[in-house]
Structure 1
Amino acid sequence: MLILIPLLLWGCAGASEVLVGQTGANYSQIQAAIDGSMPGDTIRVQSGVYKENVNINKPLNLIGVDSGNGRPLVNAGGSGSVITIAASNTTVQGFNITGSGGCGCGHSGIKVLSSNNLIMNNIIYKNKYGIYIEAAGANNTFVSNDLINNSITISDSGKNTSWDAGTRSGGLRGILDMISGPRVMGNHYSDYDEVGEGCNDTNNDLICDKPKVIGSSLDSYPSISATN
C-alpha cells in the first residue's frame, strides 16, 4: 500500500540498511541498531519479541518485517514508553507495540517529541497512552494504525497532526483507483468502532460516517475494523 504523502520513507545519499533479528542479523536488539546507525539509515526488524524501550534519537526508517513468524513485537515490560521518537524526519512502520509504564506523565506505546514523522501500519495496544504527542511535535502523520485497549487512546498537544491520508492500492484495485482517485485511510480505534461509541457506517464502506475528534484535529476516515 502506497501512502500518497511526500514523506513515505526518509533517506539520504549513502544511507545504509541494517538488519535486526535473532539469527544472521547485524544486531539482536533494536536500540543497539539505532545507536550503531547513521542518520537516514533504514533499520529492518525481523519477527520476534524485543523486550526494550526504544529511543529514536536520529532520523531513521524503522521498519518491521514479517520474516515468517508475524510482525515484530516491541514490549517495554511495564516501564516507560515503548518507542520514543525524539528525532524529526523518522518513519516507524509495521510493529506490534505494547507494555508501556502506567504513569499519566506520558508513558505510551509511541511517544513523539519531534516533527515531520510518519507512523503507519502499527498495532498499538495495552499501553497507558496509545500515542502521546508533546507540544514540540508538529506536522506528524499517523495512518493505518490500530489502537486497541489502551487506557487513554491518544494525547495530542502537537501542531498540525494528520490522522488520515490518501492511499493507493496495487493490482486491479490500483487500476480502479487511477480512474476514481485514491482511497482515503485513517486509523482504527477500539474506543470508536461501534454505534454506541458514535461510529455509524450507514453506507457500508468500513469507515465511520463521522470523523473522530482528537484534540484540535480530526481523523476524517476512522476505520470500523482493524487495518493490520
Structure 2
Amino acid sequence: MAQVFAQSPPATSRALVLGSTSRYRRELLQRLHIPFEVAAPQVDETPRPGEAPADLACRLALAKAQAIAYQFPGAVVIGSDQVADLAGEPLGKPGTHERATQQLRRMRGQTVIFQTAVAVVCAQTGFAQTELAPVKVKFRDLSNAEIEAYLQAEQPYDCAGSAKSEGLGIALLDAIESDDPTALVGLPLIRTCRMIRAAGVKVL
C-alpha cells in the first residue's frame, strides 16, 4: 500500500510518486516540500553478466520507475538506484556484518565511484528520462579495528558500499567529489528537480 508524505506543498499539475522502499530517498525527497506517495517496486536487482555498474544503476532506476508508473499512469514517478563501483566491479548492499567487513577492507585506500541513477517516468504522457550522478569517493587506509568500530556503531548493512556518509561514515573518507550533493545518500536532488519539472511537477 502506498504511503503519503505531504508538507504544505505548492500546487502541482501532476501527482508525484517515489518508487522506492528506501527511507533515505524518502527523507531526501521530503526536502522539496512537495506531496508525494511511496510505492514499493518489484524489480529483480540481479546484475546481468558483464554489466557495468553505471549501466546496472541506470537500468534498475528506470525499471523501478516503470514498474510503479503502470500502477499510477497519470502520475510522475521517480525511480533510483545506487551501485558502488570498485574498479568496474559492482558492490551492492552488504546485508550482513561479515559482507560489510569484506567490502570495507577491499575499499580501504581505494577510490570508489558510487553510481547513482535517477529515472522519471509518466506513463500517460510517455515521458521517460534517466540521469546518472556519479560520486567519486576516496576511502582512507582504514585499519581492521577502525572498520570494526564503525560497523558496530552504525551497522550500515542496507547501504551500497557499507558506509553512511551522512553519519559516522564520513570519518572513513578522505574526499568526496560530486556535482549533486545528495547523490551519495541515494537521490541526486538537483537532477531529480530538473526531471520532475520537465515531466510536469511544479517544484517552486
The interval holding the TM-score normalised by the smaller chain is under 0.3
Q: TM-score, normalised by structure 2?
A: 0.28
Q: TM-score, normalised by structure 1?
A: 0.26
Higher relative CO (Cα under 8 Å, sequence separation at least 6) belongs to: 2
Q: Which has the higher helix share?
A: 2
